[in-house]
Structure 1
Amino acid sequence: MIPTSETMDPEKTDMSVFEEVESEVRSYCRSFPTIFEKAKGYKLWDRQGREYIDFFAGAGTLNYGHNESGMQKRLIEYLTSDGIVHSLDMATSSKEEFLSRFQDVILKPRNLEYKVMFPGPTGTNAVESALKLARKVTGRQTVVSFTRGFHGMTLGSLAVTGNAFKRKGAGIPLTGAVSLPYDQYNENIDSLTLLERYLEDKGSGVDLPAAVILETVQGEGGINAASFEWLKQVEQICRRYDVLLIVDDIQAGCGRTGTFFSFEPAEIQPDIVCLSKSLSGYGVPFAVTLFRPDLDTWAPGEHNGTFRGHNLAFVAATEALRFWETDAFSREVQRKGDRVKAALQKIADKHPDLITQVRGRGLMLGMEFPKEGLADEVCSEAFKRGLIMETSGPNSEVVKLLPPLIIDDEGLDKGLGILEESIESAAKKIS
């Protein structure tokens, strides 16, 4: 979710064409009411030349920053050489190179054996194909999801999404899913014991599910990070009852939590993995669904999409993999994450009446502001001062930090300084 404010005006910007022509469904341009014109690294500039530090990164789509030079160069070379751009699922040299590099740089070093499916260019495409495949393979219909999870805006993805506002937009009943409490949702509820009771009790009213779907860190749900022990227990239950485990790594993956896949530190191996957002590395639409080879029961064309052969995404994604040839980049993300988390905790300790918790992993972090409207106001004040952030959580109660992973310490310090100023200013307004 995103902060909304009609009062942000760091010099009035003429937004009339967007207001007159574009649908009322637009959201981010209401939160950031300026016309952006240029971006590089962790910074953006608007039409008036104002500079902004980006702690938003396209909702986690720009992990490597804006217009990363290596990817930019490769894309320009590819376009000027008349390389194939659109190809459905035909074989192309750029797809071949991506598949080979992804196998060599990501899968093999992690001892992961997955088939790669291109379901369409967005995250919800990956989730829809994962749900469809799980049901096809098992012959079962139900999927277990978790409170505050977010998995996309199409009907199947919405059915396993927790947010009431998003679900209501479907306009029809959302079926085929059972929601259980996520880790640490309530200290008095042991969600995994509850799940096992449901599965073993023939009178529970819950059919044996095809799959369990989860995010290891819930982005839209409020930066809720599951413990590694909880994740291991989920995997064990799935194995015990022959239920498929789907990890939606669309926002938490591609290095956001410090490792390429967010589930790596938990030492689990999902049956199906959904990736999108920063997979292309450049903001080019791209998604894949990964699954165990024995699950590959698709008939040719049984699931498809016009833009599943997005060759510009293949080119950029292949170049992005150079960040993962060693573990140096991963170590840096974790170092920066620890640094930012410590800084956030220091701010929280200074304002115990405003901030109840700092949470997250790597550079996927959040601060909870329980007072209604305060998190929104913090983001509004930050924008006026040149910092772009959004909120998350069911009541927009969490200020969410997703800076590009390539940001330097100077950028982090400057952004954190603006954040602290914004908290103090917002608190005065709301009190």
Structure 2
Amino acid sequence: MTKIGSHVSFSDKGLLNAATEALSYGSSTFMIYTGAPQNTRRRPIENQYIDEGREKMKEAGIDEIVVHAPYIINLGSYKKDTFRLAVDFLQDEIRRTDYLGVRNIVLHPGAYTDKDPEYGIGRIAEGLNEVLSGVKDTSVNIALETMAGKGSELGRSFEELAEIMDKVESNGRLTVCLDTCHVHDAGYDIVNDLDGVLEHFDKIVGLDKLAVVHLNDSKNPRGAAKDRHAPVGSGWIGFKTIYDVVHHEKLKHLPMILETPWIGKNEGAERPMYEAEIALLGGTALDRFGGEFAEHVEKLEHFFAKQDIHHRDFILNTWELLKTDAKAKKEDGREPMERLYDLIEAEGLFPELSEEQINHRLTAWLAGKDALLALTK
């Protein structure tokens, strides 16, 4: 069975909190940070309601989750203090991950900052060798994440990942996390040639090394090297491609994790679209939301058709406008989903629904006619 879930919070009651939140979205897997991703402050892992969380997971049939390493770890740094922090902190995070019984911790490989890529690749491999030599008593793999190429970050090509892995002695402990937004932004054409991209990955790294997939749409065209996630269907990648990733014969056995942005007009009231995204990608939207959900999506189809608004054209044209027309962006910087929501609200189409519920239905409309037809069967 395909496992689709989201990034969830590990705060308050730790694993119990994370499992409860994940289940509220209909997740069959999920990803956590074991503490804040921006700092080193950590509560003792033993006190994080681990048994209670595992019991909740067991009741729901969740047998695999993922941990993400903090962003502040940079194994590519030439600065001694930064490198030492990265090695020591990653070892601690691996031990915490092992205590949770999780197999893979996702890691951004690192950035070379003021040096060059060759230096950074060697430095990252040096760090990974030291990290793994210090945690031989654990069974955790480090899943190096494919990166978008922003700034001096490495892992922006399959070749860079392979070069890092080849330099690590215990590279049997290294796996890969494929991020759809990142590979798109790095220049890989998963929209028109997903099979070709996967074949290239298999040749350079090996599909047997894939352990996790991050599901994110992108706010930028292919090759932009920006790394700006969008909700599924509201970016340059589109729902169909992400659906194809989820159900691809060579990928569908892997845990699929959504990291899409929370959205909402009012600050502090933003909500994730995880529940709708998981249901639509997993084909359970009618079971999750009921028949009225399909009727509402049909209503949106008719509403936007009258205004000659096609979901993909509107999305891509809006992003292109915001990218190329500085004046237009300054005067009206609203992103595509916000513009569509405003049209719905102005028409008063769904006065009985909350903003989150309307955005769920908008997410389904953005999935396109194939998904719409599937909803009505």
TM superposition score category, shorter chain reference = 0.3 to 0.5
More helix by share: 2
Tell which has more relative contact order, 1 or 2 (C-alpha 8 A, sep 6+). Answer: 1
Q: TM-score, normalised by structure 2?
A: 0.34
Q: TM-score, normalised by structure 1?
A: 0.31
